[in-house]
Amino acid sequence: MTDRTMAAPAERKRGEGVKLVYDILRDDIIDLVLPPGSPIDEIQLAERLSMSRTPIREALVRLASEGLVTTLPNRSTVVSNIDFLNLHTFFDAITLMYRVTTRLAAEFHVPADLDVIRARQAAFAGAVEAHDALAMIATNRDFHAAIAEAGRNPYYTGLFCRLLDEGRRILRLYYSSFEDRLPQRYVAEHEEMIAAIAARDVEGADRLAKAHADQIVQQIQQLIARDRRQTLAL
């Protein structure tokens, strides 16, 4: 559990309970504080958060709808596993979403959107500069989510954010310290995407987004391949 759990019993108004639990659990799942497959005990959680089980259950329903936890009747809720056997579906979907959201941002953004996107990029660049892999993973997600929001199609934004979060979980499996070497070229690629979006170059944005997605997919595949080779070497 995050430190936030200890702070949770602080003042909260009626009606804020479910969201508080949801936020805490969601962060913990994505940051692998709660690793895939781990059971979620309602009673323990209720004790730790000093609240009854009801809002916790409601938060779990919401998390289940987002695929972050898996529930079956009369059984413990568990943190959803990452489906490594079917990563191609994830790669396919996230590549498509990178493309359509970036296209739409080039087409529909307003000036304030660019401010947000640029602020997110600055945070991402800062994380890369600081060799902070965990912050990089989080700020990368936020950067692309801002692009999706600028594209103004809630269906795509919803799916894309879900996929980005799943990507965070996958990456978090492999980046577990502050010492990892982070690819600087992602910062440059983000800048190019921002320029294409600002210039309303829809096709350019699409092309850059696809190339960027391909890089990410390749990175994940290499991380997994490296992992598998270690296993076979045993």
H helical segments located in 8-132: 17-30, 42-49, 53-65, 87-108, 111-129
Q: Is residue 93 within the footprint of its own copies (CB under 8 A)? A: yes
Q: Is residue 210 within the footprint of its own copies (CB under 8 A)? A: no
Q: Considering only 4-12, 157-165, 181-189, 211-219, which stretch makes contact with its own copies by CB under 8 A?
A: 157-165
CB of 170 vs its own copies, minimal distance in Å: 14
Q: Which is nearer to its own copies, 97 or 127 (CB)?
A: 97
Dihedral sign from CA coordinates of 139, 142, 146, 151: positive
Q: What is the 8-class DSSP label of residue 11?
A: -
Q: What is the Cα–Cα distance from 54 to 51, expressed in whole angstroms?
A: 8
Q: Which does 52 bind (CB under 5 to 8 A by kind): its own copies, DNA, none?
A: DNA
Q: Which does 159 bind (CB under 5 to 8 A by kind): its own copies, DNA, none?
A: its own copies
Q: Which does 100 bind (CB under 5 to 8 A by kind): DNA, its own copies, none?
A: its own copies
Q: What is the 8-class DSSP label of residue 34?
A: S
Q: What is the Cα–Cα distance from 200 to 181, expressed in whole angstroms?
A: 33
Nearest to 32 by CA among 167, 153, 129: 167
For residues 170 to 209, the per-residue mask of contacts with its own copies, x marking binding by CB under 8 A and - elsewhere, is ----------------------------------------
- What's the Cα-to-Cα distance from 226 to each of 11, 193, 220, 230, rounded to whole Å? 47, 29, 10, 7
Q: Which does 44 bind (CB under 5 to 8 A by kind): its own copies, DNA, none?
A: DNA
Q: Which does 76 bind (CB under 5 to 8 A by kind): its own copies, DNA, none?
A: DNA
Q: Is residue 12 within the footprint of its own copies (CB under 8 A)? A: no
Give CA angle at 8 (175, 163), nearest 5°: 40
Q: Which does 111 bind (CB under 5 to 8 A by kind): DNA, its own copies, none?
A: none
| Residue 34 identity (one-letter amino acid) | L
Dihedral sign from CA coordinates of 30, 154, 61, 82: negative
Binding positions for DNA, rule: CB under 7 A: 13-18, 39-44, 50-55, 57-58, 71-77
Q: Is residue 25 within the footprint of its own copies (CB under 8 A)? A: no
* Residues lying near its own copies in the complex (CB under 8 A): 14-16, 18, 54, 57-58, 61-62, 64-66, 73-74, 89-90, 92-93, 96, 100, 152-156, 158-159, 162-163
